[in-house]
Amino acid sequence: MGVSYKVLLVDDHTLVREGIRAIIERSGEFRVVAEASTAAEAVEACAKMSPELVISNIELPDRSGIDLTRELLRENRSARVIMLSRSDDEETVIDALRSGARGFVLKHASSADLMEALNTVARGGSYFSSEASERLMARIRRGDFGSRQTRPAWQKLTPRELEVLRLVSAGKSSKQIADMLHLGVETVRSYRKSMMKKIGVSNVASLVQFAISQGLTRWTQRGPGSYT
């Protein structure tokens, strides 16, 4: 067996990390040297292990994977980051690219897609899933790829944050939300802090007021509430 690439896995779900590890280590070309469930843990692990490749969920309890990518690349410019995302909306894809990520893979992708992304990025290329590539091409065709469009504040929130916001607005406690979404209580609290920072409010009452004003307190098929 030749020299293998060192990989850092970042995801707040243990089963997801275990599944990815099993997939990528089969080939013998990739070796997981560290795992992290938060951005803070990832920064520490990256500094200690100097991985060549980082596979990170775009949604993390303490910070977004986008912010994490920027910090990791400031500290280790040779690291190559592949983002995993449930969403392929245009702004998410553009933000991932702007952050310096070299790959973007949807969570419903096949193991073959993930391995193709790893092999491509490990060899110095870039890999964006077909859906993500379509979003990039749409922006390029419109001629506004270089400009950042102003988005409603609620669009800064991840799908998971929107789930938590809806339940907070319904009067659910952190423990109740944790039980309903199968999360830790501290994870729910981290989501609340993250949402308040993104929206620019300082307390839960203002957070709920924002949700009501934006129509985020109920499920809808279109518009702001369509975050299932």
The pLDDT tens digits of the residues spanning 69-93 come to 999 998 888 899 999 998 877 778 8
Dihedral class, residue 154 (left if φ above 0, else alpha if ψ from -120 to 50, else beta): alpha
In angstroms, the Cα distances linking 152 to 91, 162, 199 are 12, 13, 10
Structure tokens at 182: 């199968």
Q: Which domain holds residue 169?
A: 153-213
Q: Is residue 14 situated within a structural domain?
A: yes
Q: Is residue 31 situated within a structural domain?
A: yes
| 11 and 107 fall within a common domain | yes
How far apart are the C-alpha atoms of 215 and 83, rounded to whole Å? 29
How far apart are the C-alpha atoms of 160 and 227, rounded to whole Å? 9
Write down which residue in 142, 164, 187 finishes a domain: 142
Q: What is the CATH number of the domain that holds 194?
A: 1.10.10.10
Number of domains in the chain: 2
When pLDDT is cut at 50, 70 and 90, the band that residue 149 belongs to is low
| 128 and 185 fall within a common domain | no
Task: With a cut of 80, say whether residue 65 has pLDDT above it.
Answer: yes
| 198 and 170 fall within a common domain | yes
The pLDDT tens digits of the residues spanning 9-23 come to 999 999 999 999 999
How far apart are the C-alpha atoms of 47 and 211, rounded to whole Å? 38
Residue 61, burial from CB neighbour count under 10 angstroms (0-12, 13-18, 19+): buried
Q: What is the CATH number of the domain that holds 57?
A: 3.40.50.2300
Instruction: Name the nearest CA neighbour of 127 among 109, 105, 146, 145.
Output: 105
